[in-house]
Structure 1
Amino acid sequence: MLESVGLGRRAHDVYRALLLKPDSGLDEIAREAGLSPEETRDALDRLTDLSLLHSVEGSAQFIPANPEVGIYPLLERRTAELDEQRASLSRDRAAVASLAAEYAALGAQRGGDGIERLVGVEAVRVRLTELSRQATVEVRSFMPGGALSAAALEACRPLDEQHLSRGVRMRTLYLDSVRNDCATVEYAGWLASRGGEIRTVPSLPMRMIICDRSAAVVPVNVDESRQGAFVVRYQSMVLALGELFEHVWNRADPLNTPSVPVSDGPSDRDLALLAMLEDGLTDEGISRKMGVSIRTVRRTMADLMKRLNAQSRFQVGAEAVRRGWI
C-alpha cells in the first residue's frame, strides 16, 4: 500500500480515518484505525513528513492534505529511479553478453578440435557446473570411488534439484559399496522422490559425466583425478560413451532394491573381481575400482577361492575359465 514511497499500512489507515472524521483527536483516530496510541503517533509523524497532514497550531487536530500534491512528486522521483535502474540493467545485460561472447570464443580456441583439456580439480568442477546447467534433456554419470560425504552430497542438492525441476532426467551409477553408506542411501531416496534415478554395480571403468548428447567429461588419468579431465564434444565419441553408459546401466541394480544373491553361478562382484585380476590389477587397484577396503578385497578373494576350490589366484583364473565364467 504505497510502500514504495514510504507510506505503510498504518499511515494509510490513519490518513483515511482523518478523511472520514477530520475533527478526530489522537484517541479517536487510534480507535478508528485499530492502532495503539504509540503506533498512531508514529503514523501521524510519517504523514506529516510526507506533507499529507498539517497540524493545527495550539490544537490536537490535523488537517489532511491532497495526496496528489504530497505523493505524486514522490512517485515521479521513484519512477525516475526505476527508469535509471532499468537502463543500468540493460547496460549490464549488454556487458554480460559481450563477456559471454569472449568466453565462448576462448572455449572454441581451447576445444576447437572437439576436445578441451581441463587442468586441475577446480577447472573441472567449474566446467561440470556449466555443462550441467546447460543440459536440457539428461545428465548421465559414472561415480566410482567410495561414498561421498554427507557434506558433499548436500552441496550437490541445489544443482540436482534445479535440474529435476527443469525436467532434466538424471541417471547416476555408483558402486555397490555405497549401499552400506547411510548418507548416500538417504540422498538417493531424496533424489528418487523428485524423479532422479540411481543404480549400483560392482565396478566402474572411470568417472564420467555426459550432458545431453553434446558433451562428455572424462578424466585424463582414471587413477589420478588431480591431473584434470577432457571435455569431449565429438559426436561419435559422445555417442560411444553414451552406449557404454547404457550397457552398464542395464546391468545395474536400483539402489532402493536389494542385490539378488547368486547361489551357483558368479555374482556381478565375482565377475568384476575376476576381470580386474585378469587385467593384472593389484589389491590396491581393485580396492580403488570397487570403492571398498583392501581387507574387503582380500576377503572376497578368499571366498571366491573357497567356492572354486582353488589354492592360488592363478588357479582361480583357470577354474573360472573352465567353468565359462570368463
Structure 2
Amino acid sequence: MESDRHGHRGITNVLESVGLNAKDQDVYRALLLHPDWGMDDIERNLGLPGEAIRAALDRLAELSLLRPSSGPERFIAGNPEVELTPLLQRLEAELDERRARLSRDRALVAALTAEYTTLRIQSGSQGVEHLDSLESVRLRLHELSREATSEVRAFMPGGALSAAAQAAARPLDEQTLARGVRMQTVYLDSVRNDHATVEYATWFTKQGGQTRTVPSLPMRLILCDRSVAVIPVNQEASREGAFVLHLSSVVAALNQLFELVWERAAPLGETLAPDCDGPSERDLTLLKMLREGLTDEGIARRLGVSIRTVRRLMAELLKKLKAQSRFQAGMEAVRLGWL
C-alpha cells in the first residue's frame, strides 16, 4: 500500500514536470486504468465538463501519451516510460545548463563583489569613504542598513518626511526591525505638526522602533552598530554627497553626541510640556542661534519650519523676556543666566 502511494506521487511529479495539470493527469490515469472508457465515461466518473476533458485529451495527444482508437470516441493510452523518457532527458539537460549558468553567475557576482570592495577601500582615506552623489549615498545607506546587526541611530533634521521618502523607507525599516536591530531616530519638533510624518512614526514605533524630537539638531547623521557613521559633505546641500566614517575615535564621539541629544529629546508620542517661567528647550535653541548670528532663513532651515513660524517664535521669546529687540533679548537672557 505504501509503495502504491509512493508510485502515485512519483507519476504525479513526472507529469507535472512536463506541463500536465491535475485534470490532465486525472484523465490520463483514468484511461490507463480503463482503456475502454469514452468521453461520456470520463465525464460521468471524473465529474469534469466536456470542454475540460477535450482540452486534456489534446494536451495528452501533443505529448504522444494518447492516441485515438479505431472505435468511436475511444483512446489508447501510450506507455509513459517510452513517451516521456526523451522529454525528461531534455528537461534534465536544460536543468544541467541552468545549474551551470547559475554557477557562472555566482562566480561573476563574487568577482564583482571583490572588485567593489577593493575600489571602496582604495577610494577611502584612512577609514573615510567619499560618496560623491545622492544616488551613491542612498545605495550605501541601504547596504549599511541591511548589514546592521545591533542598531541603527539617526538624526533627521529638516521638515516633514515626503510621501516618497516614507514609501522608500518603510520596507527597509520593517526588514531591519524584523531582524532584531534596534532603531532610534531623532526628528525636529516641527514634524509633530505634520500628520503623515506622525503617522509614519507611529507605525515605526509599533514595529519596535523609537522616535523622539528636539527643537534643533546639529547635523544629519546615521550611525550603524557603533562602528560606522555617515555625515553629509555639506549640511545645506545633500546632493553634494556624504562621508562614510570608519574611524573608531570619531564614530565613538558621534555616538556620544547622539546619546546626549537622545536623553533630552521627547518621545514623539508624548505631548510637549508647556512653557514655564524659565526658558524652554525651544527658547534656549532660538537664543543660541541668535548668538551664532543666523538669519531667519537659517533658523527656519535648522528648525525645519517656515520663516513665518520663526518670526512668531521670536515674537513669543521677546515677549517672555520683556524685550523690545532681539539684541535686548540676548542681553536679558545673559542677565537671567539663560545663556
Shorter-chain TM range is over 0.9
Structure-2 residue corresponding to 1:91: 104
- Paired position in structure 2 for 1:123: 136
Unaligned runs of 5+ in 1: none
Whether the aligned pair in 2 keeps the contact of 1:14 and 1:30 (CA below 8 Å) is no
**Which of 167, 191, 195 is matched with 1:154 structurally?**
167
CA distance in 2, matches of 1:181, 1:286: 19
Q: What is the rounded CA distance, in whole Å, between the counterparts of 2:276 and 2:250 in structure 1?
A: 39
What TM-score do you get using the length of structure 1 for normalisation? Answer: 0.95
How do residues 132-211 of structure 1 correspond to structure 2 at under 5 angstroms? 132-211=145-224
Matched, 1:53 2:66: yes
Quick one: distance in 2 between partners of 1:69 and 1:256? Answer: 71
Q: Distance in 1 between matches of 2:235 and 2:330?
A: 25
**Any residues of structure 2 matched to 1:213-228 within 5 Å, and which?**
213-228=226-241
Q: Deviations over 1:60-102 (max 9, x none)?
A: 1112223222233322322222222111111111111101101
CA drift at 1:58: 4.4
Task: Name the aligned partner's letter for residue 142 of structure 1.
Answer: F
Deviation at 1:242, TM superposition (A): 0.9
Partner of 2:311: 298
Deviates more, 1:311-320 or 1:182-191: 311-320
- Cα displacement string for residues 30-51 of structure 1 (whole angstroms, at most 9, x for unaligned residues): 2222211010001011111222
Within the candidate set 66, 74, 77, 1:64 is matched to 77
| 1:97-112 matches, cutoff 5 A | 97-112=110-125
Shift in Å, 1:318: 2.0
Alignment correspondent of 1:80: 93
| Partner Cα separation in structure 2 for residue 48 and residue 148 of structure 1 | 61
Distance 1:58 1:25 in 2: 9
Amino acid at match of 1:261: P
1:230 to 2:254 alignment: no
| 1:15 corresponding residue in structure 2 | 28
Q: Using structure 2 for the length normalisation, give the TM-score.
A: 0.92
Partner amino acid for 2:335? R
Looking at structure 2, the residues matched to 75 and 186 of structure 1 have their Cα atoms a distance apart, in angstroms, of: 55
SS of aligned partner of 1:92: helix
Note the alpha carbon deviations across 1:251-289, whole angstroms, 9 max, x for none.
111112211213222211111111111111111111000
* Distance of 1:31 and 1:184 partners within structure 2: 62
Distance 2:199 2:83 in 1: 59
Paired-residue identity, %: 64
Q: How does 1:29-44 map to 2 (within 5 A)?
A: 29-44=42-57
Q: Which runs of 5+ in 2 are unaligned?
A: 1-11
Distance 1:107 1:151 in 2: 29
Task: Give, in whole Å, the separation in 2 of the partners of 1:31 and 1:195.
Answer: 58
Give SS of 2:153's match: strand
Cross-structure match for 1:318:
331
SS in 2 for 1:83: helix
Let me know the Cα RMSD of the aligned residues.
Answer: 1.5
